């Protein structure tokens, strides 16, 4: 990439959540290996983000690469309508192996947001098939489920992009966000707002949708597993399907293979994505029970009405199977435990810093919540100068490194955050 490429990028390419008039600088990365991203100028930086929760085994993993190369020799893509192929069958077998017995029917989709759309459409069709027109969803505040319209409609109505499109989003029900944090003593009052809403609207609710334990882009909060357990109980009681969005948390990030396991519950519809392919290609899945699938399939529509062009893409399926094979070897458990203990020892003490409101750690997630909004442009420049890749948002600086990160690299990420906190220029007062 030369200067003219970067100028072209600036003038013509829209990056996530950015302005075409005054974009925050984008740093040119030409390759990536392990936990290192290589900049255009030859410098390498340590990745603290796993490319937004996805690259759990690091970059350029030889096993994941090989699975793609092998698949390419057979076919890169073939339509999934009326056709099936070994890569999809192998992946779905593996997904059934690693998820609860009750979840037996898999719908492959193209991204996390689409997996949410699919889960919500499944819930609507489920009630249609039962002869009821239910179109309200219940969730909690501070949630985030993606950027497509239905996904936005169940994301937090004030602190997410939802607010920009309020005028045409369907209106759903939002219980108060849980106050009881992971590891604290459970307070029964925490569930009151949710239980009142579900009781009052039990005849209209198509499904409840929750991020399990970790609320990601809505504030990186970790709530009490009892909250989720109560939600499951109430959904059972009122016979309302529970959609669990494991798109960010799935595949070991919180210390359990899936975060709903902290609450020892089983969802009716499970959405997975991001780390499903080890961060290699976009793929997601919405997995449900035979009961829901059969009710939908016995309906007047006779089918589930969704079918993306790249559904079940063989390359994505092949690499996802290899990713799961790596996870099944169980090294991730110790890797995540090690990251958690280093974060606890080295990141938690930042709690004492005068700019810091809270520091929290769960599995391979470390969050520093500041009192002030962060100047992303300035802090990011500083991070790059100091050899690390961290992308804060709002008042949050957080780490979700690849599981393979070594202790020294992780400490460098933490030290750099610590140094950044001392610089007033990085905060907006």
CB 363 within 8 A of CB 339: yes
Q: What tokens does 139 get?
A: 């969730």
Closest separation between CB of residue 148 and ligand PLP, Å?
Answer: 7
∠ CA 243-336-421 to the nearest 5 degrees?
A: 95
Beta strands in 334-393 (DSSP E): 356-362, 365-370, 373-374, 388-389
Q: What tokens does 86 get?
A: 């070994």
Nearest to 385 by CA among 354, 356, 347, 426: 426
Nearer to ligand PLP, 211 or 322 (CB): 211
Nearest to 350 by CA among 409, 410, 416, 424: 416
Nearer to ligand PLP, 154 or 421 (CB): 154
Closest separation between CB of residue 116 and ligand PLP, Å?
Answer: 6
Closest separation between CB of residue 249 and ligand PLP, Å?
Answer: 7
CA separation for the pair 198, 193 (Å, rounded): 9
Please, which residues bridge with residue 209 across strands? 243
17 is catalytic: yes
CB 270 within 8 A of CB 286: yes
Tell me the CA distances in angstroms from 266 to 236, 289, 354, one per residue in order.
Answer: 11, 10, 41
Nearer to ligand PLP, 34 or 212 (CB): 212
330 is catalytic: no
Q: Taking the CB of residue 167, how many other CB atoms lie within 10 A of it?
A: 5
Nearer to ligand PLP, 155 or 346 (CB): 155
H runs (alpha helix) in 254-385: 290-297, 314-328, 331-346, 376-385
Closest separation between CB of residue 421 and ligand PLP, Å?
Answer: 25
CB 376 within 8 A of CB 398: no
Closest separation between CB of residue 388 and ligand PLP, Å?
Answer: 21
Closest separation between CB of residue 11 and ligand PLP, Å?
Answer: 25
Nearer to ligand PLP, 216 or 255 (CB): 216
Residue of 94, 226, 274, 395 with catalytic role: 274
Residue of 156, 190, 245, 268 with catalytic role: 245
CA separation for the pair 116, 5 (Å, rounded): 36
Closest separation between CB of residue 146 and ligand PLP, Å?
Answer: 3
Residue nearest to ligand PLP (CB): 112
H runs (alpha helix) in 99-204: 112-129, 149-153, 192-200
Can you give the binding site for ligand PLP, defined by CB under 6 A? Answer: 111-113, 116, 144-146, 211, 216-217, 245, 247-248, 273
Q: What tokens does 242 get?
A: 């529970």
CA separation for the pair 153, 150 (Å, rounded): 5
Closest separation between CB of residue 215 and ligand PLP, Å?
Answer: 8
- What is the sign of the dihedral through the CA atoms of 375, 381, 385 and 389? positive
Nearest to 243 by CA among 138, 142, 162: 138
290: Cβ–Cβ under 8 A, 6 or more apart, which residues? Answer: 104, 105
Residue of 36, 59, 126, 144 with catalytic role: 144
Nearer to ligand PLP, 216 or 241 (CB): 216
Residues involved in catalysis: 17, 144, 245, 274
């Amino acid at each position: 990439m030369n200067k003219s490429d970067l100028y072209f990028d600036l003038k013509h390419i829209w990056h996530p959540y950015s302005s075409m008039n005054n974009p925050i600088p984008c740093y040119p990365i030409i390759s990536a290996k392990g936990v290192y991203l290589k900049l255009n100028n030859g410098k390498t930086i340590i990745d603290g983000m796993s490319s937004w929760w996805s690259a759990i085994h690091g970059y350029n993993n030889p096993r994941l690469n090989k699975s793609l190369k092998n698949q390419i020799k057979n076919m890169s893509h073939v339509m999934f309508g009326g056709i099936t192929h070994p890569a999809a069958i192998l992946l779905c077998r593996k997904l059934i192996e690693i998820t609860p017995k009750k979840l037996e029917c898999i719908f492959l989709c193209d991204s996390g947001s689409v997996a949410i759309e699919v889960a919500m459409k499944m819930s609507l069709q489920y009630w249609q098939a039962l002869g009821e027109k239910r179109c309200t969803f219940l969730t909690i505040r501070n949630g985030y489920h993606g950027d497509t319209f239905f996904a936005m409609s169940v994301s937090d109505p004030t602190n997410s992009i939802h607010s920009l499109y309020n005028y045409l989003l369907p209106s759903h029900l939002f219980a108060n966000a849980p106050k009881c944090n992971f590891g604290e003593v459970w307070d029964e009052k925490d569930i009151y707002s949710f239980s009142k809403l579900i009781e009052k609207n039990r005849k209209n609710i198509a499904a409840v949708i929750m991020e399990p334990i970790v609320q990601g882009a809505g504030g990186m909060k970790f709530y009490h597993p009892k909250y989720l357990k109560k939600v499951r109980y109430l959904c059972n009681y009122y016979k309302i399907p529970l959609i669990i969005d494991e798109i960010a948390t799935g595949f070991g990030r919180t210390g359990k293979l899936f975060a709903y396991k902290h609450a020892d519950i089983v969802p009716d519809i499970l959405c997975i994505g991001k780390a499903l392919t080890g961060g290699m290609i976009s793929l997601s899945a919405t997995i449900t029970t035979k009961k829901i699938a059969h009710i939908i399939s016995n309906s007047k529509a006779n089918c589930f009405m969704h079918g993306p062009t790249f559904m079940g893409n063989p390359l994505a399926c092949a690499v996802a199977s290899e990713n799961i094979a790596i996870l099944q070897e169980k090294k991730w458990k110790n890797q995540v435990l090690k990251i958690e203990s280093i974060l606890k020892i080295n990141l938690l003490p930042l709690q004492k810093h005068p700019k810091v409101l809270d520091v929290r750690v769960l599995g391979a997630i470390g969050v520093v919540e500041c009192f002030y909004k962060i100047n992303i442009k300035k802090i990011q420049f500083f991070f790059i100068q100091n050899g690390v890749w961290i992308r804060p948002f709002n008042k949050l600086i957080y780490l979700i490194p690849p599981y393979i990160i070594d202790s020294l690299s992780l400490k460098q990420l933490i030290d750099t955050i610590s140094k950044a906190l001392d610089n007033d220029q990085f905060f907006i007062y």
